[in-house]
Structure 1
Amino acid sequence: MSDMKFKFTIQNYQTEAVASVVKVFAGQPFQNKLSYRRDTGTQNVQNIFNWILSDNELYMGFANAPVVLDSHQLLKNIQNVQNDNNLQTSSILAKHMGVCSLDIEMETGTGKTYVYIKTMFELNKQYGWSKFIVVVPSIAIREGVQKSFQMMQDHFMEQYGKKARFFIYNSKNLTDIDNFSSSADLSVMIINVQAFNARGKDARRIRMELDEFGSRKPIDVIAANRPIVILDEPQKMGGKKTQESLKEFNPLFTLNYSATHKEHHDLIYVLDALDAYKMKLVKKIEVKGFDIKNLRGTDGYLFLEDIVISPKKPPMARMEFEIEYEKSIKRVIRILGVDDDLFALSKNMEQYRGYHINDVDPIKGVVTFTNGIEIHIGEVLGDVSEKDIRRVQIRETIRSHFEKEKELYNRGIKTLSLFFIDKVENYRKYDEDGNEVNSEYGQMFEEEYMSIQNEYLTLFDTPYEQYLRNINVHSTHAGYFSIDKKGHKIDSKIKRGSDISDDESAYELILKDKEKLLSLDNPVRFIFSHSALREGWDNPNVFQICTLKHGGDSTTNKRQEVGRGLRICVNQSGDRMDERVLGSEVQEVNKLTVIASDGYKDFVSSLQSEIKDTLYNRPSKVTPEYFEGKRLKVGDDVITISSNQAHTVYFYLVKNDYIDEDGHVTDKYRADVENNTLATVPDKVKDIADGVHALVQGIFDEHALDGMIEDGHTTKVQENALNDNFYKKEFQTLWNYINHKWSYTVHFDSNELIQKSIKKIDEKLFVSQLQYTVTQGTQGEDWSDSGNGFVAEKRHTYKLDRGETSQVKYDLIGKIGEKTHLTRKTVVAILKGISPVRFAMFKLNPEEFISNVSRLINDEKATMIVDDITYNQTDGTYDSSIFTAEKNKDFSKSYLAKKNVQDYVFADGTAEKSIERKFAEDMDLDDKVVVYAKLPRGFQIPTPVGNYAPDWAIAFQKGTVKHIFFIAETKGTMQSINIRPIEQAKISCAKKLFNNLSTKDVVYHDVDSYQSLLNIIEDL
C-alpha cells in the first residue's frame, strides 16, 4: 500500500469558489504569451557572447497581460459575484495591491489549496495569465503547498492537459527565477515571508545586486512578470512591513485565501465553519475534557472513565481508584456497579470510607455514592498531580482510538492519533550509547496501550484482531521532531513573536510520510510531535488529537488545534470518504475527538468563541431588508427577490413563530427543519421556497454552534437492537397474530353526514376576527435602566371591520375536500346548508375558516364510520426491522427496560414519570408479564380518519398454561368526553380489528394506567 495516492474529485463548492474569481474579470480578453525583453545581466561574459550570437528569443520573457477592465467595470463585476453569492456588496474597489484585492474565505480542511491551484489553471485557460506567486507565512505551510502541487499534478493534467511548473524560492538557487521569467507555461513560485521580510542575510539577498545573478536584483526580475499574487493565510502577514514588501512584487492583482481574515478587502466567496459543518465537508468535533475536583476530607484518587451499557446487565461504571497491597499502593481500573463498596475493594483504605455506589446513571453520565458525593464522567477527584492528568489523557486517547479503529478497519480506513507535546525529552531520550529510549510519555503510552489492547483481544480470530496482534507496541508509536546534525530528535525552535516553528527537517519528515502513514501495512498509528509543529499536520486520517503540555496552556488557539484533524478521511485506495460514499453516515465515520487538557466546558466555550469571531459575514437577525435583492437560482433562471416578496417571506416567518420579536430564529423553526415539517410558504413565493429557507439558515444562530461540538463523555448507545425477549415463543406467537397488514371498507349515508355536519358547523364554528389594541400613556420620570420611560394609563382593543381585503384567491371547496376526503359535490351541499352568518365568517379569516370547518366535518365523519367498517387481511406483513428503523433517538428520554423486546423504551413526553414510562416500569415489575413491546410508529392500522399506531403489545401469563395477548393504548384519561372524536374513532376501529381476530387470546383496550389494564385482565 506504500504507493497509495490521494484521489481528487471535483466538488461543487470548490468549483463555485473558483468561478467566483474568474467572473470578476468577465470581459477581459484572452492574451497568451505577452513577451518582454528580459534583463539578463552584465557581469556574465557568456551572457554577452550569447547576446552576440543568438536571436532575441533567448532573452524573451513572458509576463501576465495587463487587466484591460477599468475600475468601474471591475467593481460592477465584483458586485455581481457578491450578489450571486448573497454577500454584502462593496461600495468601492480595494486596490491596495494591484488592480484589485479579492478575499476568498474557506474553512480549514475544505481544500483551499486545491481551490487556488485550480483557480490558476482556470485564469490561465480563460485569460491566458500564466505567472503566479504563492506567498505563505511559514515554512510549514510552504512545504505543504509544494506537496499539494506534487500530489495534484496528474489530477489537473487530466482536466487541463497541462502541468504547472512550480518551485520554492531559494536565494541560493537563482536559476529558478530566470526559468520562471523565460517560461511561457503556467509557472508558480512559492515563497514564505521570511525569505524576503526578515533580518537575515538570505532574506536581504532578494533586494541585492548579486554578482552570480548578473548584477541584477532578484526582486526586479520577479516584478517584471506582473505576477498574480496569492496570499495563503494573509491574516498572518498583515504587518505594515510585510505589506510594503509584497508590493515590490508588482502584482497584477491579489487573491487572499483564509478561514479567518483580519484585513478585509472585496469578499467574493464564503464557506465558513457553519457552512462546512452543515454541508458535511469536515469532520464533526467531539471533545473529551477532564475536570479536577478536589474535595475536602479526602485525598484519595478517583477517576470515572466511562459508564458501560450492556443488553445483559444494568449500567456499570469503569472507574480508577487505589488499592493498598502489602508493599505498595497501586491504581487500578475496575468495572463497578450499584452496591459496590470502594472502601472494601481498596482493602479498607480510609479515604474511601462511605464511597458505596448508590446509583449509576448512564443518561446523565454520573455515579452517586451513599455519602452524597457525585462524580461525572471525565472527573478526577482527590489528590491529583499533573502526571496523573497526562496519563488519563493518554489513556483516553488510546481508548478512543481503539473504539473508532474497530469500526473503521473493516472499511479500509487507517486510524491515526496525534499527540502534541512541549518537550521531546518528555517522550524520548537517549542513553549513554546514543540509543533512543522511552521517556515519561513513551513509557505511559506503552503501559496504557497494552492494558487497553487486552480488552479488544478475544478468543475470536477476526481480521481486526489479527491486525492488532501483528503490531508491536514499540513500533506503533513514533515521534516527528526536528533533527540535529547527529540525527537526534530535538525541540523545535520558535522564533520570538511566533507560536510555530520553521525547522525544515521536521516538516520534511512529516510531509514525506504523509501517504505512508495512511497504509494499514505501516504499523505507526500513534504520533508524537512538538506542539510548535501544529501547522505541519493536515493528515486526513487523524481522528484523535491530544495536547500534553506541562503547566497547561489556556492561550492555545483551539481552532488551530482541531484544524489539524478536520479533513475528511480517505481509505486505502485514496478515495475520500465523504457524503457521496457514506451517505448519512459521513459524520459518524468522520468524527474528530479532541482530548483536552482542560475541562469540557472551558474548551468548548473557547472553541465556540473563536468560531463565532469568524462568522462576522452572517447577519444576526431576520428583516425584510435581508431578503430584498437577494439572488436565487431556480432551475436555469436566477430570480431576484423583490421588496414585495421580501415582506411576504418576513410575515410568513412571523406568522409561523419561526422568528421572535427581535428577528432571531426560534426553536420551532429549528425543530421543523429537523423534522421536515416546515409550514408551506405563501403562493407568491412558492417558487423560491428552497432558496428562502437557505437564506434563513444563513442567519447567525448561536444554537448551531452547539450542534457542531459533541461531549465525548456522553454515554454512547450505538443502536436499540432487538434482544432475546423478541425471540421468546410468547412474543413470537403474539407477533404472528398481529403483524399483518389490513385494508378496510366502510359504508355510511352521505345525506346523514351532510345534515350532521351542517348542524355541527352552525353550533360550533368560530373564526377569530382581526383586532388591534391601542395603548395610551404619558412620559414618566424614571429613566434609569430599571425604570419605565413611559407609563401606560389606558388600553382599548378594536375590531378591524374595514381591514384591507385579502387579494389571495382560495379554492374553498377544493381545500375542504382535500382535508376531509369528500367529493366536491358533498362539500358544496354542506356549505350551502350552513347559515349565512356562519358562511360570512369566511371573509373574516379564510384560512381559519377552512381549517375549522374541515375539522368539524371530520369529527362528525369519525362518529359515523365505526359501526360500518370492515377489515380485510392483505398479503403484506410487517418485518421485524420496523422496530429498529428509527435512528438518532434521544437516549436522555429513554428507559432501560427488562422485558421489552428492545433494551430501551422511548416513552412519549419528556417527564421521567410520564404515563408511558410509568406503564413500562410497572410491566417490568409484574411477574404476570412475560414480555412486551413498545410498538414502533411504523406499525400502522389504516382507518378512514388517518392511520393509527397502537402503543403496546403484551404477553401475560394467566394460570399455569394459558397466555393472554393484550394490545394497549395508553391515554391520560379514560373519559371519552376528553378525547377528540377522531381519536375516539381510531381507537374504536382498532378495537373492532383486534377483538375480531380469529383468536380469542388477543384483546385490545385503551387504558390510562397499568392498574386499569389489570382490572380488565381480571374480567377476562
Structure 2
Amino acid sequence: MIFEKQAYQQECIKNIIEVLKDFNFKTHLNLEECLKDFYNSNKTLNLGISQNKNLDILMETGTGKTFTYINAIYEIHKIYNQNKFIIFVPRKAILESVKQNLKLTKEYFYAIYKTHLKIYEYKDEKSISNIINHYINDHKELSVLLLTSSAINKKDNHLNRQKETLFHKGSVLDSIADLRPISFIDEPHLLKGDKFKEYFFKFNSLYFRFGATFPDGDDRLSNLIYALDSISAFKSYLVKQISVHTIIDKNFKPILKDINAKTKTATFETYLNGIAKKVDVKLDDDLGLKLNNKNFKDIKINSIKSNKLYLSSGEILEKSSSYLLSQDQISIMLDKAIDLHFQKEERLFKENIKALSLFFIPNISDFRGKNPFIKDEFTRLYKQKREAILKNPNLDEDYKKYLENDFDKNGDLQVLNGYFSGDSKAKGNTEDKEADDIRLILEDKVNLLNFKTPLRFIFSVWALQEGWDNPNVFTLVKLASSSSETSKRQQVGRGLRLCVNQNGKRITQNLNPHNFYDINALDVVINANEGTFIADLQKEIEETSLSFNEENLKDSDLFMLNKRQKVRLFTHLEDLGLVKFDEINDTFEIITPLFEICKDDDVIKELLKDKFDEFIKFITPSQNKATQIIDKNKKSNLTTIRKNLAKEFKELWKSINTKALIRYDDIDTKELIREVTTKFDEIEIKPKTIKITKETFISQTNTIQKEEILLSKYKLGDEFILENLSNFASENLYPLSFIIKIYNQISNKENFKNDSNLAFKNLNFIIKDIVHKNIIHKVCYDFQATNITTKTPFSYLYDANEMPKDEIEINKLGRYESQNSPKNHYLYDKVIYDSQIEKDVIENEVDKFSSNTIKVFAKLPKFSIPTPYKEYEPDFAYLIENDSGKKIFFICETKGYDKFSEIPKDEAKKIDYAKLFFKTLDKYIKSQGINADIKFKTRINKQALIDILGDLK
C-alpha cells in the first residue's frame, strides 16, 4: 500500500499543532485561551467555544481521517513530548479497521519519526495485566490504547472495578486517567450516550473528535479547528461522485410516512415520472388521483386516528419507517447490481484497478445456512451474465483470464463472501475458507484489492458500517431497510474513498477532470421503498456542510454575518434577481451566479463592511462543475441543437477536437535547476519557536508563579526531509529525480530543517514560476486524428456518422438557465451558462462587424486542452466568415475580471499555453487541407467582441 501525504491532511495536523502551542499538558486547563488565540487567525472556523476539553475535526468520510489522527499522534509526540493516547471507537468492526490502519502505517511512520507506536487493546480481563505493566507503568513508551465504548460504559466492567493492591487503590480506569492521556474519538455521533460520557469524562483531559457526522444538542460541533465537509471534499476531487439507481416495482404502492391527527392530514412518499415525491393528503381526497397510483383508484381516507389511516376500501395503513423486500424485488436489484459491476469492471481492469461491490442484506440466513436465497440467486445471475460476457469476441484477453479464475478447484464460485456480526469467533480456524475471507474483508485490504484474489462481491447485515470502507467499492446495494439511526451519508460513505490501483496508488484529480468521475464513481442501487433517499441524502450533506453548494443559500450558511446583515443581504439579493425564496425548504434558491455581481456591488460592500471579503470568499465559485449526486431515474434536462447551425459548426468542432500530446523540446534542465536553487537560497526561513508556560506553586505565599520559556522547534532530520521530497514530487507531479537534483544543489538546506512546510511551499512557487518562464518557449503540441466514435467532446454534438444530434444535456453546458432567448446564430435553443459574462455573451452577441460575419457560435461542452498546468477549458467557439468567403475558427475565453492582471496566476499561465496550443493547431489543420484560420483570444468582462476581433483578416 502506498501512503501519500495529502495537503488537506497536513493542513489539519498543522492546525492541531498550532492550537496546542500554548496548551498546558500538565493540567489540561487552558484550552479556551488556546482556542481564542487560534480563532484570531482562523475566524471562519469559529462556530463557538464549548466548556468541554474537546477539539473537533470535521472530515468527510473517505478522506482518510484515521490516517490523519494517527499521523497527529506522532506529531504531538514529536513536538510536545506526549506519550499516552487513547482511540475510542463505538463498534468492533471500526476497531478492526483502526487496527488495520495502525498496522499498515507502522513502518511508514517509523521511517519518518524513527519511533514505534505501541498498540494495546482491551479485549477482556486477561488483557488488563498487559495494559497495566506497559501502557500505564512505562511512562516513556509512546503508546495508544484502543477501546470501544462498551469497555467503560458500565460500573461492573473490568476497567471500572475498584481494586486495592500494594501499589494502587482504585480502578484501572483511574490509573489510566492519572496519565492524562490524549484521546481521539472516532465517529463521535455514535459515542454520545450518557453512560459512556459518565465514565469518559473521568479522564478530564484533552480529546479530539474526528468525524464526518456530529451529534445534535449538547454534543454538537464545537471548538472546531479543521473542516473538510462533504461539499468541499467533492469540489476538491477528494471523494467519488454518487449515482443513485432506484428500482421501482410495477406494483409499487405509495408509502405512508407521516400522520398529523390534529390537522387530519397524512404524508405519502410516491413516484412521479420515476422521481420520489412527498405528497400531503387529507380526508375525502381521492388517493388514486393525488398519488397518481392505480392501487388506490377511487379510494378515500375515511378517518385518521393515532398512527393509522382508515381507508374507504376497508384497508388500514400504518406509518412505516422500514420495509421487507420480496424475492422478486431482490432478484431485480441483484440483476441491476451485477450489470452495473460488469459495465465498469473491464474498463477499470484495464486501468489496473480492481472493482468491488458491497451488498447490505436483511438476514444472515439469506447468505448462510440452508437455502440462502440471496446467495443462490446472486450465484445464478452472476454465472448467467458471466457466460454472456465471455462470449464477446472483443473481450480483453487479460480480463478474460481474470474471469476464468472465478471458480475454485472444486468448481465453487469464489467471487462472493460476507462479514456478519459474530464472525470474529470464526477467525481462529485458519483452514476454514469462510474465516479466511472474513480476515480478508476486515483486516487485509491489500490482498483484497489484488487481482489474484477472486473475492469482489461482499455481503453484510449492516455489520460493515462506520469505520469500514474500501477505496474500490464502486457499487453499493441496499437489499434491506437500515436503522433510522444510520444516516444516508454514512451508508454511501462505505464507497466514497478514491480508488487505488494494483500498486496502491490513489487515482486522483491529476487526471483530466472530465475523466476523473468516469473512474471515481459510486453506483448506489436502492428500492422504491427508500422513498426520498436522494433528497434526504442531499439535505444531510447540506446540513452537515459549512461550504457553499452554489445551488441555494440559507441563513445558517452566513454564520460570519449578524442577523441584521443577513436580512438586508437576502432582501438585496432578491431585488437584484439573483435568488428566490423557497417556502417549502426555507432557503433561497440561487437563480443567477452570485460572485460576479456581488464582488462589485457597492450596496453589499457598505452593508457588510469588514465582513465583505469573507462573504465574497465564501461565494467564490468552484472550478469543479460536476454534480455530487446524480439521480439515474431522472431524465436529463436537454436543450435542442439547432441542426442547420450544427452542420456549419461541425468543421470547427471536429478541428479543435484533434487529439493533442504535449512535447518538451530542448529544455536546459541544468540552467533551470540553477535558477531555482539560486532563487531558493535567497530566502531565509527562521526556525519556529514554541512557547511553553511553566507554572510553579509557591507554598510560602500561596501563589502560582508563571514563567514563559521559548524553545526552538525541533529541527527535522535528513531522513524526514528526504521522505518529504518524495511526497512533494508526487503531489505536484514533478519527476522525483528532478526534485532530488534541485535539493542536492540547494546550499541553504537549513530552510527545510527550520520549517519544512514553509520551505516546500516556497520551493513549489519558485519551481512553477521559473519552469513556466523556461518551458513556455519549449512546449510543442503533437496532433493526430481522433476516432470520433469514442467518448470525446465531439460525440456530445455529433453521432458516429458525424450527423448532428437532436439534443445535448444541459449539465454539459452549465449550471444556470436563463428565461431569455439566445441569439439566432447560437448553436442551442436555450441560454445555459455558468457566469454572468457568459449569459451576456449568449444573449447579446452581435452577428456582424466590419467585413466579418458570425455564422454560428457555441458554448463548448466539456472541451479541454492539455497544458503543464493540468487541463484548460475555453468557453466559446465561433465560426466566422469574411466577405471573401474565408473562414476563421475563433476560440474565446471569457473572464469576469476588469483587467487581465486580475486573473489568478495559474489561470493566466494556462492561457499562455492555450495561445500556443491554438497557434500550433492552426498550422496543423492547414497541413490537413482545411482552408481556415484558428485564432484564440481572452475576453475580459464586457469587452466588445468587435474590439478583440478587430485584427482578424
**Length-normalised TM-score, structure 2:** 0.55
Could you tell me which of 82, 87, 95 is aligned with 2:45? 87
Distance change >3 Å, CA 175–CA 281, structure 1 → 2: same
Q: Secondary structure in 2 aligned to 1:275?
A: helix
Distance change >3 Å, CA 879–CA 222, structure 1 → 2: closer
Distance change >3 Å, CA 711–CA 179, structure 1 → 2: same
Q: 2:233 maps to what in 1?
A: 276
Deviation at 1:287? 0.8
Structure showing greater Rg: 1
Deviation at 1:400? 0.5
Q: 1:950 maps to what in 2?
A: 855
Deviation at 1:192? 0.8
Identity of aligned residues (%): 27
Could you tell me which of 596, 602, 607 is aligned with 2:537? 607
Could you tell me which of 449, 455, 461 is aligned with 2:382? 449
Q: 1:254 maps to what in 2?
A: 207
Q: 2:372 maps to what in 1?
A: 439
- Contact 2:349-2:399 at 8 Å conserved across structures: no
Deviation at 1:222? 0.9
Q: 1:22 maps to what in 2?
A: 17
Q: 1:524 maps to what in 2?
A: 455
Letter in 2 for 1:439: P
Q: 2:507 maps to what in 1?
A: 577
Q: Work out whether 1:481 is the aligned partner of 2:420.
A: yes
Q: Which moved more, 1:606-615 or 1:167-176?
A: 606-615
Deviation at 1:79? 2.6
Q: 1:109 maps to what in 2?
A: 62
- Contact 1:897-1:920 at 8 Å conserved across structures: no
- Contact 2:472-2:495 at 8 Å conserved across structures: yes
Q: 1:219 maps to what in 2?
A: 173
- Contact 1:654-1:660 at 8 Å conserved across structures: yes
Q: Secondary structure in 1 aligned to 2:69?
A: helix
- Contact 1:207-1:217 at 8 Å conserved across structures: yes
Q: Work out whether 1:538 is the aligned partner of 2:469.
A: yes
How far, CA to CA, are the matches of 1:877 and 1:508 in structure 2? 50
Distance change >3 Å, CA 584–CA 261, structure 1 → 2: same
Letter in 2 for 1:466: K
Q: Work out whether 1:695 is the aligned partner of 2:618.
A: yes
Instruction: Give CA deviations for 1:449-497 in whole Å, capped at 9, x if unaligned.
Output: 123224433123523542354133511112323567995999xxxxxxx
- Contact 2:57-2:226 at 8 Å conserved across structures: yes
Point out where structure 2 has 5 or more consecutive residues left out of the alignment: 254-272, 275-323, 408-412, 641-645, 658-780, 811-816, 830-841, 859-877, 889-930, 932-953
How far, CA to CA, are the matches of 1:907 and 1:415 in structure 2? 28
- Contact 2:121-2:147 at 8 Å conserved across structures: yes
Letter in 1 for 2:250: K
- Contact 2:827-2:857 at 8 Å conserved across structures: no
Q: Work out whether 1:189 is the aligned partner of 2:145.
A: yes
Letter in 2 for 1:76: K
How far, CA to CA, are the matches of 2:363 and 2:11 in structure 1? 43
Q: Work out whether 1:292 is the aligned partner of 2:241.
A: no
Residues 800-949 of structure 1 mapped to structure 2, 5 A cutoff: 900-901=802-803, 906=808
How far, CA to CA, are the matches of 2:572 and 2:533 in structure 1? 39
Q: Work out whether 1:388 is the aligned partner of 2:328.
A: yes
Q: 2:163 maps to what in 1?
A: 209
Deviation at 1:543? 0.8
Deviation at 1:272? 1.6
Q: Secondary structure in 2 aligned to 1:133?
A: strand
Q: 1:236 maps to what in 2?
A: 190
Q: Work out whether 1:168 is the aligned partner of 2:129.
A: no
Deviation at 1:412? 0.6
Letter in 2 for 1:386: S
Instruction: Give CA deviations for 1:964-1013 in whole Å, capped at 9, x if unaligned.
Output: xxxxxxxxxxxxxxxxxxxxxx99954531599xxxxx9xxxxxxxxxxx
Letter in 2 for 1:481: F
Distance change >3 Å, CA 941–CA 254, structure 1 → 2: same
Q: Work out whether 1:178 is the aligned partner of 2:161.
A: no
How far, CA to CA, are the matches of 1:274 and 1:238 in structure 2? 25
Deviation at 1:667? 4.3
Q: 1:127 maps to what in 2?
A: 80
Instruction: Give CA deviations for 1:121-157 in whole Å, capped at 9, x if unaligned.
Output: 2222322222111111111212211211111222322
Q: Secondary structure in 2 aligned to 1:467?
A: helix
How far, CA to CA, are the matches of 2:203 and 2:70 in structure 1? 19
- Contact 1:287-1:710 at 8 Å conserved across structures: yes
How far, CA to CA, are the matches of 1:389 and 1:232 in structure 2? 36
Q: Secondary structure in 2 aligned to 1:523?
A: coil
Q: Secondary structure in 2 aligned to 1:992?
A: coil
Point out where structure 1 has 5 or more consecutive residues left out of the alignment: 30-63, 297-305, 308-383, 431-437, 491-502, 630-642, 721-725, 742-875, 922-936, 954-985, 997-1001, 1003-1020
Letter in 1 for 2:885: L
**Cα RMSD between the aligned structures?**
5.7
- Contact 1:137-1:232 at 8 Å conserved across structures: yes
Letter in 1 for 2:628: M
How far, CA to CA, are the matches of 1:886 and 1:680 in structure 2? 38
Q: Secondary structure in 1 aligned to 2:528?
A: coil
Deviation at 1:589? 1.0
Deviation at 1:238? 1.6
Deviation at 1:197? 1.1
Q: 1:590 maps to what in 2?
A: 520
Could you tell me which of 406, 411, 436 is aligned with 2:351? 411
- Contact 2:825-2:854 at 8 Å conserved across structures: no
- Contact 1:130-1:185 at 8 Å conserved across structures: yes
Deviation at 1:509? 5.4
Could you tell me which of 436, 449, 466 is aligned with 2:400? 466
Q: 2:870 maps to what in 1?
A: none
How far, CA to CA, are the matches of 1:150 and 1:624 in structure 2? 40
Q: Secondary structure in 1 aligned to 2:346?
A: helix
Deviation at 1:409? 0.8
Q: Work out whether 1:156 is the aligned partner of 2:109.
A: yes
Deviation at 1:698? 9.2
Instruction: Give CA deviations for 1:937-984 in whole Å, capped at 9, x if unaligned.
Output: 9xx99996698653499xxxxxxxxxxxxxxxxxxxxxxxxxxxxxxx
Q: 1:9 maps to what in 2?
A: 4
- Contact 1:143-1:507 at 8 Å conserved across structures: no
- Contact 1:424-1:530 at 8 Å conserved across structures: yes
Deviation at 1:101? 1.9
Deviation at 1:426? 1.3
Distance change >3 Å, CA 459–CA 563, structure 1 → 2: same
Distance change >3 Å, CA 949–CA 183, structure 1 → 2: farther
Q: 1:324 maps to what in 2?
A: none
Instruction: Give CA deviations for 1:786-828 in whole Å, capped at 9, x if unaligned.
Output: xxxxxxxxxxxxxxxxxxxxxxxxxxxxxxxxxxxxxxxxxxx
Q: 2:91 maps to what in 1?
A: 138
Letter in 2 for 1:391: S
How far, CA to CA, are the matches of 2:478 and 2:203 in structure 1? 39
Instruction: Give CA deviations for 1:823-842 in whole Å, capped at 9, x if unaligned.
Output: xxxxxxxxxxxxxxxxxxxx
Q: 1:807 maps to what in 2?
A: none
- Contact 1:284-1:587 at 8 Å conserved across structures: yes
Distance change >3 Å, CA 576–CA 716, structure 1 → 2: farther
Distance change >3 Å, CA 142–CA 131, structure 1 → 2: same
Distance change >3 Å, CA 880–CA 89, structure 1 → 2: same
Q: Secondary structure in 1 aligned to 2:195?
A: helix
Residues 606-1005 of structure 1 mapped to structure 2, 5 A cutoff: 606-615=536-545, 620-621=553-554, 657-659=577-579, 667-670=590-593, 681=600, 693-696=616-619, 707-713=627-633, 900-901=802-803, 906=808, 950-951=855-856, 989-993=881-885
Distance change >3 Å, CA 691–CA 213, structure 1 → 2: same
Distance change >3 Å, CA 487–CA 139, structure 1 → 2: closer
